Amino acid sequence: MTPTRREKFSKLFPNQPKFRWKQIESALFQEKNHSWDDVSSLPIPIREKLAEELPWLSLKRVTEVGEADGSVRKVLLEAEDGARIESVLMQNKSGKYSVCVSTQVGCAMGCSFCSTGKLGLKRNLSADEIVDQLRYWSLSQTPISIPEPNGDTERKEIITNIVLMGMGEPMNNYESVREALNSILTNTGIGPTHITVSSAGVLPRLNKILDDKEWPPVCIAISLHSADPIIRKKIMPSSGPNFLPELAEWAEAYLKLFGNRSHYLTFEYIMLDGVNDSAEDAKKLAAYTKPLSRAKINLIAYNDAAGQFKPSSPEKIQAFMNIILAAGVDVTRRQSLGGAIQAACGQLAAGERD
């Protein structure tokens, strides 16, 4: 893997005091800084050397597209080794922004409804490459800001939420994801309950969270998509024979450790016509999630990504939702954004299409 910024800095300046790196990391997130030349807290010789040897961003833009109303933008980014990923900026109804971040180049999970899974796994992203997707948007032409730790910002248009729901399985890049999350939490005003990490359910890594003192208390979203083991295995090949009971056991432990009024566990459920959207499917889902307090279901309209499925009709989604509500389980329907530019859930493929 490409050396991190910190490793490169240590090699360039082996005798610098320990506080220097913290100074640099903080400067990377400050809105006023657009290059090393802007970091006035650093001595001029260091700034000049960094400008020569260390890019301000580890990723460079290849293309950027947006929906007509400007509410969603998608960028194709290229790393130093030529690897490409996509990141998405989304504006909600209140005018605030969320950033959808990728964690891998491709993905090994092979979910049949997801374009990223068709690529296979090429490599993990470094913590710098994960963080720099957030930094890219604040440096782009779109007038937005990353809030500073003290809450100050000169602009009204700010990034309030981050979702690790782009390309890749975050739990299969555990160390880099953890490092990136801690860097963001330390150097921005974005709090842990405004960051969501999505996982298809890599249980060994999810279990690691329970004992990892360095893992921050961010929100977790599990890509469940069926409470029937046969159906889940069909659409998510990585699902093991005992996955559902083992996941329920993990969820109970997770909610006991982290759960509160502002910190809950989400089960994501993509609605596939004739596959997982029957009344029986809804009853199984409600029965599976009801014992888990402070957990909720998020229904997602399918975006035509992999081509072999069709989206459930709005009427079918509503009927499905009504069954879950009647069972006393918290359920919402996610607003679908970015479909027109292939930026919605399951559509990211780094510009590669069949």
Catalytic residues: 86, 345
Rg of the chain taking only CA atoms, in angstroms? 21
Backbone dihedral angles phi then psi of residue 115, each to the nearest 5 degrees:
-65, -35
Please name the residue ranges forming H helices in the chain: 5-12, 19-29, 44-53, 127-139, 174-187, 203-211, 229-235, 243-258, 279-289, 314-326
C-alpha distances (whole Å) from 334 to each of 161, 267, 269, 299, 300 are: 15, 12, 10, 6, 5
Strands lying side by side in the sheet with 97-100: 60-66, 72-78, 84-91, 97-100, 159-164, 195-199, 219-223, 265-271, 295-301, 331-333
CA angle, corner 257, sides to 251 and 263, nearest 5? 80
Angle between helices 314-326 and 279-289 (to 10 degrees): 40
d(CA 354, CA 347): 12
